[in-house]
């Protein structure tokens, strides 16, 4: 009897423990209740331990199949239960789900530790690993064996019994701390509201934004315009509001989140998280958490990370300083007799951009109606890879705004399920992301296909207008869709290696390369039409987009570098930190700062990527992958942006392979050589003789 059927027999009536009788066995969201989760987690962990005991008690000598593969396949019920829970925690959370997460998180950590720290189980894994040179394994099997062994060795399996006790406690604490950190950010973001009752105070804001703010107020039972700290409000207010005091008000609120005292203050959580990570790294024999985390990364070590960051800083900073001076001069020339502050930057940059290139978001948005953009992005995948997207209303969704699609190949063969979720809600965290509700794997000759979710926070439609995207939002859509392609097109044997289960500094290549199509005329001509007139986006407007692409590019590069330096500063500490969080942050980011530093503001208390996500000692990977994507897209640029042969090579060598081989081997198989920074410098318009140094 299968684990899932056995669990259903034990706890009948819990939909999470039953075989899903839905299209493609998708999650029956309409049937699952919050109270189903905890007993399902308990049962799934219990069944997982039965599976582990079976591996341990196998009387046969350890082999790749009876130990490594058996371990890979174990815990399928737990994965089935945890997948909807943690996805909804990010995109459709409630107070009850958050409270439940705080209850489940330490139990799951303890469960994982009881497996990773099991001496008998590790002995079997190690016995197979020591035979690796004698075993005739495929490259994918070799990677699975290596990652399985290191998954134990790098998570405490080699520790003494007293140290294992310490490790258990530290990892449990860390899990809870990162969860609390993320919940604080969401709660403080949702808590902020600013009601404006005089329309004159909102001078400069576009009409669709005013409509959205008025709808916010109406939904809250108030009259006027209700502002918040969600990106759909914050970003356009900073860009368009003529009212400098309003911009400063919102900037200060946004930039001081979780650091002003009160129940959502994250400063102590930052200290506890970095110190706990340091203690774990030290316990495992590493000087810093970065030393521990970078073992399985393309960068390999912190010296290579800093080498990349430093090279880019040297290359981009002179241009960034010129960009700041140009914006300052423009502001002064237009009556702003003060030093440009952070709350002024977007406002005057946008006006300067408009003056120089005669293009701005308000000119472009009418051509980027969400449904049209969706057709364009889906159509790009069709042109490159032959895949089709067919809406399937029979698939249950977790919110009425979510759509589900059957994804098929050119012959109609099913490839994946794709969920799309485009608009902000109080229960959804900020940002944009891709994840899976179910990963891909092979079971014999059966290819179990993935179920992917694509989550955004784009401006909602209003009573008078459909959802119109900014050009940056179009690029965000392409970015996350690139991750989705990585998840949907994967063809791997083992779930733990499929899709986006790759090195952290490689995972952004499939996403970032997609952004390159955003300004290509041949791509835009296929879908960018005025939502009212149906007029195709004019060629001269596309040219203006191209001409303006490098506007303030160096400044934005330094901004990304500042996040990378901050991340590394927190995770290269070799002694427990007990200083002032914001002072430490300021010093860490000092070399990258172009704008004046404002007191009582900071980044660390809301830097969810590294303190509540998977990017600790890995935020540099965005720039690392940017080097890769610029280099990789140069092949498309040379051969044609819709060249089938190039697309097929990228699909076969990158998108389908997941983490089944070393990423540099995969990249070189596609590109024919290792990447250099030449392509990114050329793309960004940085006039510097390339060193030719390899990434």
Would you please indicate which residues are annotated as catalytic (active-site) residues? 480
What the block records as the tokens of 432 is: 């944009």
Statement to judge: residues 60 and 203 lie in one domain: no
Positive or negative, the CA dihedral 530, 535, 540, 546 is: positive
Calpha distance 273→262 (Å, rounded): 19
Calpha distance 670→643 (Å, rounded): 14
Q: Of 255, 281, 310, which residue constitutes the final position of a domain?
A: 255
What pLDDT, on the 0 to 100 scale, is given for residue 688?
55
Could you tell me if residue 472 is inside a domain? Answer: yes
Nearest 5°: the CA angle 602, 318, 354 is 75
State pTM to two decimals. 0.92
Calpha distance 498→143 (Å, rounded): 12
CATH code of the domain containing 484: 1.10.1370.40
Statement to judge: residues 88 and 197 lie in one domain: no
Statement to judge: residues 390 and 445 lie in one domain: yes
Tens-place pLDDT, residues 528-551: 999 999 999 999 999 999 999 999
Helix, coil or strand: residue 35: helix
Statement to judge: residues 425 and 505 lie in one domain: yes
Statement to judge: residues 373 and 484 lie in one domain: yes
- Total number of domains constituting the chain: 3
What the block records as the tokens of 181 is: 């950190």
Domain with 387 in it: 365-540
- In angstroms, the Cα distances linking 274 to 346, 484, 607 are 32, 31, 13
What pLDDT, on the 0 to 100 scale, is given for residue 566?
98
Statement to judge: residues 473 and 369 lie in one domain: yes
Q: Of 229, 255, 281, which residue constitutes the final position of a domain?
A: 255
Could you tell me if residue 437 is inside a domain? Answer: yes
What pLDDT, on the 0 to 100 scale, is given for residue 12?
62
Half-sphere exposure of 559 (CA within 13 A, CB side): 10
Could you tell me if residue 377 is inside a domain? Answer: yes
Statement to judge: residues 136 and 217 lie in one domain: no
Statement to judge: residues 146 and 251 lie in one domain: no
Tens-place pLDDT, residues 63-111: 999 999 999 999 999 999 999 999 999 999 999 999 999 999 999 999 9
What pLDDT, on the 0 to 100 scale, is given for residue 580?
97
Nearest 5°: the CA angle 36, 37, 43 is 95
Q: Which residues, given as ranges, of the chain have pLDDT below 50? A: 1-10, 690-695
Could you tell me if residue 406 is inside a domain? Answer: yes
Statement to judge: residues 452 and 535 lie in one domain: yes
Calpha distance 394→248 (Å, rounded): 48
Statement to judge: residues 85 and 210 lie in one domain: no
Statement to judge: residues 22 and 126 lie in one domain: yes
Could you tell me if residue 675 is inside a domain? Answer: no
For 354-390, the DSSP string reads HHHHS--HHHHGGG-BHHHHHHHHHHHHHHHH--EEE
Calpha distance 647→631 (Å, rounded): 15
Could you tell me if residue 669 is inside a domain? Answer: no
Could you tell me if residue 606 is inside a domain? Answer: no
Statement to judge: residues 476 and 531 lie in one domain: yes
Could you tell me if residue 430 is inside a domain? Answer: yes
């Amino acid at each position: 009897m299968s684990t899932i059927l056995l669990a259903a027999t034990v706890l009948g009536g819990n939909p999470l423990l039953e075989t899903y009788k839905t299209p493609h066995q998708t999650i029956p969201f309409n049937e699952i209740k919050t109270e189903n989760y905890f007993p399902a987690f308990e049962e799934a962990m219990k069944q997982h331990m039965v599976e582990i005991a079976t591996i341990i008690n196998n009387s046969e000598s350890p082999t790749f199949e009876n130990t490594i593969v058996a371990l890979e396949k174990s815990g399928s019920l737990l994965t089935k239960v945890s997948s909807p829970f943690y996805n909804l925690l990010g995109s459709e959370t409630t107070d009850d789900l958050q409270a439940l997460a705080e209850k489940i998180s330490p139990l799951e950590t303890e469960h994982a530790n009881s497996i990773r720290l099991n001496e008998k189980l590790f002995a079997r894994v190690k016995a197979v690993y020591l035979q690796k040179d004698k075993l005739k394994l495929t490259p994918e099997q070799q990677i699975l064996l290596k990652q399985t062994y290191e998954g134990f060795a790098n998570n405490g399996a080699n520790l003494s019994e007293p140290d294992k006790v310490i490790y258990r406690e530290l990892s449990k604490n860390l899990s809870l701390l990162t969860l609390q950190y993320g919940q604080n950010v969401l709660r403080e973001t949702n808590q902020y509201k600013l009601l404006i009752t005089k329309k004159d105070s909102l001078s400069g804001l576009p009409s669709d934004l005013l409509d959205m703010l008025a709808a916010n107020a109406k939904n809250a039972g108030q009259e006027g315009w209700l502002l918040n700290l969600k990106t759909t409000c914050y970003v356009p207010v900073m860009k368009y509001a003529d009212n400098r005091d309003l911009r400063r008000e919102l900037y200060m609120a946004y930039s001081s989140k979780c650091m002003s005292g009160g129940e959502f203050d994250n400063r102590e959580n930052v200290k506890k998280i970095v110190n706990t990570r340091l203690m774990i790294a030290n316990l495992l024999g590493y000087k810093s958490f970065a030393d521990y985390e970078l073992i399985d990364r393309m960068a390999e070590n912190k010296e290579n990370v800093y080498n990349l960051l430093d090279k880019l800083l040297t290359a981009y900073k002179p241009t960034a300083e010129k960009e700041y001076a140009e914006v300052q001069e423009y502001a002064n020339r237009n009556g702003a007799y003060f030093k440009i502050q952070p709350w002024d930057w977007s406002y005057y940059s946008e006006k300067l951009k408009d003056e120089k290139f005669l293009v701005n978001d308000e000119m472009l948005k009418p051509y980027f109606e969400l449904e049209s953009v969706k057709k364009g992005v889906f159509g790009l995948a069709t042109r490159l890879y032959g895949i089709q997207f067919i809406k399937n209303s029979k698939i249950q969704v977790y919110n009425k705004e979510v759509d589900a699609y059957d994804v098929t190949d050119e012959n109609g063969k099913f490839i994946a399920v794709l969920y799309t979720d485009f608009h902000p809600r109080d229960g959804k965290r900020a940002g944009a992301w891709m994840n899976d509700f179910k990963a891909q794997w092979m079971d014999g000759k059966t290819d179990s296909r993935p179920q992917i979710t694509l989550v955004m926070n784009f401006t909602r439609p209003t009573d008078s207008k459909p959802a119109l995207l900014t050009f940056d939002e179009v690029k965000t859509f392409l970015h996350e869709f690139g991750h989705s392609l990585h998840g949907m097109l994967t063809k791997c044997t083992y779930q733990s290696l499929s899709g986006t289960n790759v090195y952290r500094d490689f995972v952004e290549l499939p996403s970032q390369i997609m952004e390159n199509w955003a300004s290509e005329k041949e791509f835009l001509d296929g879908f960018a039409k005025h939502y009212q007139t149906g007029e195709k986006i004019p060629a001269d407007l596309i040219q203006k987009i191209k001409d303006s692409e490098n506007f303030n590019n160096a400044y934005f590069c330094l901004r990304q570098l500042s996040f990378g330096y901050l991340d590394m500063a927190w995770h290269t500490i070799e002694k427990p930190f007990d200083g002032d969080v914001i002072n430490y942050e300021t010093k860490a980011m000092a070399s990258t700062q172009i704008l004046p530093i404002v007191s009582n503001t900071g980044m660390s208390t809301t830097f969810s990527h590294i303190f509540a996500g998977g990017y600790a000692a890995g935020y540099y990977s965005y720039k690392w992958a940017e080097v890769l994507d610029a280099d990789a897209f140069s092949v498309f640029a040379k051969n044609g942006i819709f060249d089938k042969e190039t697309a097929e090579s990228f699909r076969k060598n990158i998108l389908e392979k997941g983490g089944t081989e070393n990423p540099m081997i995969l990249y070189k198989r596609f590109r024919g050589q290792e990447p250099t920074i030449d392509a990114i410098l050329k793309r960004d318009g940085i006039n510097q003789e390339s060193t030719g140094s390899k990434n």
